[in-house]
Structure 1
Amino acid sequence: MILVVTGTGTGVGKTIATAALAARASGSVVVVKPVQTGVLPGEVGDIDDVRRLAGCEVVELVRLPDPLAPDTAARLAGVPLPSVAEHAARILSLADDHDTVIVEGAGGLLVRLDSDDGTLLDLASALGASVVIVVAAGLGTLNHTELTVQALRARGIEPSGLVIGSWPSDPDLASRCNREDLPRVTGVPVIAVLPAGVGTVEQSEFVAAVPGWFTAG
């Protein structure tokens, strides 16, 4: 199985959600980050956080220093990016040796992953992957989530589910209403709600808590 994890934007909890999905998966699991931006060589990136929390195999294909969209960061660094087709080939080769491949995107669904306007949406389509959308809890998330869902459906991809990536310990009225309204306005189920701050716990505590964050089924 290949699963693509995207977000409605930056900072919605996509990396922690990816780690939770990896910890929940059965069999051999590898998490792939096609492009990591804003991290220097030797620094801790998203993929390192996934490995620390889920304890699974991880692969990062490209790392760029500036905290920008991948195509912009690559242009400034003078680094050629692999095409979406090349990313897809690498990921499909990993799928030959693993039961589950989880691909964590960068930013949102339409962020460009290469220099030819190829996006995460293009990659998901090329892979024939299932897609999970990580969303914010607060005000504005309904619009952002609906736009992402519509973009996927326009390409014939039905999202597998929504994950609220960081649920506050004291949710405000907007967050409480959004939790109820997200599946109603999108037609996509909320499959997990991750408490804020869980990315700081030890691996054993994280893995043990994961089943409680997901709905049954």
Structure 2
Amino acid sequence: MKLSKGYFVIGTDTGIGKTYVSTLLFKGVSKIGGTYYKPVQSGAFEMFGKLISPDVEFMCEFNKIPYNSEMTTYLLKPEVSPHLAAEIDEVEIDPEKIKNDWLELKERYSTIIVEGAGGLYVPIIRNRFYMYDLIKLLETPVILVSSNRVGTINHTMMTINCLKNMGIKVQGIIFNKIEKNFDRTGYENDNIKVIQDMSGIKNMMILDFEQESFDQEELIRFLELREEEK
């Protein structure tokens, strides 16, 4: 088994279930010494005099573990894009600080599920540093979370093509069935086939509605580096 030291989770759109998918990914990698990291969190809230990451809180509660403050670097109160939240809170985001925290986690854990904030072009520092810059800085392959609804072919392919043009490796795609009434016997299967054929990416998993874990063997196969990448 050969895994990357980290995987960067991004979504094709808002409301795609990126945090839920990251939570289940952490649930799987925690069994093999892995962890979770949210570099920049907007919408943080105060509890007992400390700022709390809602995504970390959800992930920890779901997995029944104590809240872990080392899983974030920057906590910002406004529930807006990171660059604007930082400006409102008068916080200067330093990418090198994120990288240093990342390197420290790499020394202690087998692999890390890194959850981004929004999609590929979300600004972290206005006009200077974007989510794709952070992915490049951490040198991690991307796990792309996509819904399997009407429009997913366009959103997914645009994101994949951007990643390829930027020289960022796509580890695989997770199709998140975020609505109960999805019917994968119809157009959803065709969505997946079209995306596989157009992108050349065959590595994928499907997360069913309210599914609470990935099959561990399937997850490891999904995360494993392909032979030519080891």
Q: Give the alignment's TM-score, normalised by structure 2.
A: 0.79
In structure 1, give the amino acid aligned to 2:206: V
Q: Which residue of 1 aligns with 2:228?
A: none
1:44-90 CA distances to partner (integer Å, 9 max, x unpaired)?
61112222234576612222222211001111222222x22321221
Q: Say if 1:146 and 1:48 are closer, same or farther in 2 by CA, change over 3 A.
A: same
* Alpha-carbon separation, structure 1, partners of 2:203 and 2:107: 30
Match of 2:45 among 40, 45, 48: 40
Match of 1:5 among 3, 9, 13: 9
Partner SS state of residue 129, structure 2: coil
Q: Which residue of 2 aligns with 1:138?
A: 149
* Alpha-carbon separation, structure 1, partners of 2:203 and 2:150: 17
Q: Which residue of 1 aligns with 2:91?
A: 79
Q: Say if 1:181 and 1:109 are closer, same or farther in 2 by CA, change over 3 A.
A: same
Residue 212 of structure 1: CA displacement? 7.6
Q: Which residue of 1 aligns with 2:26?
A: 22
* Alpha-carbon separation, structure 2, partners of 1:53 and 1:213: 21
* Alpha-carbon separation, structure 2, partners of 1:118 and 1:59: 21
Q: Which residue of 2 aligns with 1:65?
A: 77
What are the residue-to-residue correspondences of 1:1-217 with 2, within 5 Å? 1-25=5-29, 26-42=31-47, 45-54=54-63, 59-81=71-93, 83-115=94-126, 117-171=128-182, 173-198=186-211, 206=212, 209-211=213-215, 214=218, 217=221
* Alpha-carbon separation, structure 1, partners of 2:125 and 2:8: 17
Contact 1:85 1:123 (8 Å CA) reproduced: no
Residue 196 of structure 1: CA displacement? 2.4
Q: Give the alignment's TM-score, normalised by structure 1.
A: 0.84
Provide the alpha-carbon RMSD of the alignment: 2.4
Residue 119 of structure 1: CA displacement? 1.8
Aligned length: 207
In structure 2, give the amino acid aligned to 1:46: D
Partner SS state of residue 124, structure 2: coil
Query: Is there any run of 5+ residues in structure 1 with no aligned partner, and where?
Result: 199-205
Which is greater in Rg?
2
1:125-152 CA distances to partner (integer Å, 9 max, x unpaired)?
1222121000111111111111211121
* Alpha-carbon separation, structure 1, partners of 2:125 and 2:90: 13
Residue 31 of structure 1: CA displacement? 0.7
- Between stretches 100-109 and 124-133, larger displacement belongs to 124-133
Contact 1:28 1:99 (8 Å CA) reproduced: yes
Residue 38 of structure 1: CA displacement? 2.1
Residue 18 of structure 1: CA displacement? 0.8
Q: Say if 1:212 and 1:142 are closer, same or farther in 2 by CA, change over 3 A.
A: farther
